[in-house]
Structure 1
Amino acid sequence: MDRFRRASAAALLTAAVLAGAVGGAVASSGVPAPPSGERAQDPATRPALSAHATARDVAAWEEFRIHGSARNIHGSARNVGSGTPVTLQQKQGERWVTLPATMRTADSGEYSLRVKLGMRGDNALRIAGGGAVSPVLRTVVG
């Protein structure tokens, strides 16, 4: 009888471990989870960020701007709330690093961020804020 209990416990433990592994695989499926403390949003009302750089090639520490708008997906007339903070992120290796360049959107959802980069070479940049990220921008620093 004791062997049966141990075998049952081992089977339950194996099932729990396998369920955790499957759950982890689902969690890492590439679908971004909402930031902590936020509920998942309906895709029709989820914000989207656009971003455009004023320069493709710049010298080290030369100022340029990234401007764009924060709007809801599907062309909804309702913008992301005014005053939503947007932040510049730079890809460093395999990680996106948040740089100390942040501003709040205007009443219209528009923003224009001043940027100076010192890391020479091809830089991948994006804007994050309001639960969304912009498409990746490329800027070459010479």
Structure 2
Amino acid sequence: MNRALRYATVGVIAVTLLGGGTAAAFAAPQDLHSPSSVVATAPAAASLTAKASATTVNAWQEFRISGVAKGLKAGTKVTVQQKQGTKWVSLPASVPVNSKGNYSVRVKLGIKGVNQLRMGAGSTLSPVVKVTVR
């Protein structure tokens, strides 16, 4: 095949492809993707809220700590932690997060005075809740 015929054939094929349904293969990248499909978003950071049902209780009186877990899977256990001196100690009080992201755990405390409590699930921690025990 001579050179002129080859160039003409390639030109016809190129025009046909660009004019037809397979033109997307030759389209510019900005035509193929919208900006929202190109930009990757990071997952939301996990968070916990906590609220005690009472701010003052008698020793060994039961109360509840309830809250919402965002960014945690249903079934993830959240545990009550108590500040003892300078350390946070996990108490034997934990409950799984439900399918809506809520939790509620029953707690009894015997250490009199102001108790600082928080909820924890791995490295995710709630703000501190204070409960006074008389």
- Which amino acid letter does the alignment assign opposite residue 68 of structure 1? G
Aligned partner letter, 2:98: A
Matched, 1:116 2:108: yes
Partner of 2:85: 93
Take 2:122 and 2:92, find their aligned partners in 1: how far apart are those partners?
Answer: 17
| 1:39-54 paired onto structure 2 within 5 Å | 44-54=43-53
Shift of 1:122: 0.4
- Structure 2, unmatched stretches of 5+, are 1-40
Deviation at 1:46, TM superposition (A): 1.6
Q: CA deviation at 1:131?
A: 3.1
- Report the CA distance between 1:109 and its aligned residue: 0.8
Instruction: Give unmatched runs, 5+ long, in structure 1.
Output: 1-41, 73-79
Note the 1:50-69 alignment, pairs <5 A. Answer: 50-69=49-68
User: Amino acid of the residue matched to residue 56 of structure 2?
Assistant: D
Q: Deviations over 1:68-110 (max 9, x none)?
A: 01013xxxxxxx2100110000000000000000110100110
Aligned partners of 1:71, 1:135: CA distance in 2, in Å?
Answer: 14
Structure 1 residues 58 and 118: alpha-carbon distance in aligned structure 2, compared to 1, 3 A threshold: same
In structure 1, C-alpha distance between the alignment counterparts of 2:107 and 2:117, rounded to whole Å: 11
Alignment size in residue pairs: 94
Larger radius of gyration: 2
Structure-2 change in CA distance of 1:126 and 1:43 (3 Å): farther
| Aligned-partner Cα distance in 1 for 2:42–2:117 | 24
Q: 1:1-142 to 2 correspondence within 5 Å? A: 44-72=43-71, 80-142=72-134
Name 2:11's counterpart in structure 1.
none
Shift of 1:130: 4.8
Deviation by residue 1:31-75 (Cα, 9 ceiling, x = unmatched): xxxxxxxxxxx9752210000000000000000000001013xxx
Which letter does structure 2 place at the counterpart of 1:91? K
Q: Between the two proteins, what is the percent identity of the paired residues? A: 47
Contact 1:85 1:130 in 2 (8 A): no
RMSD: 1.5
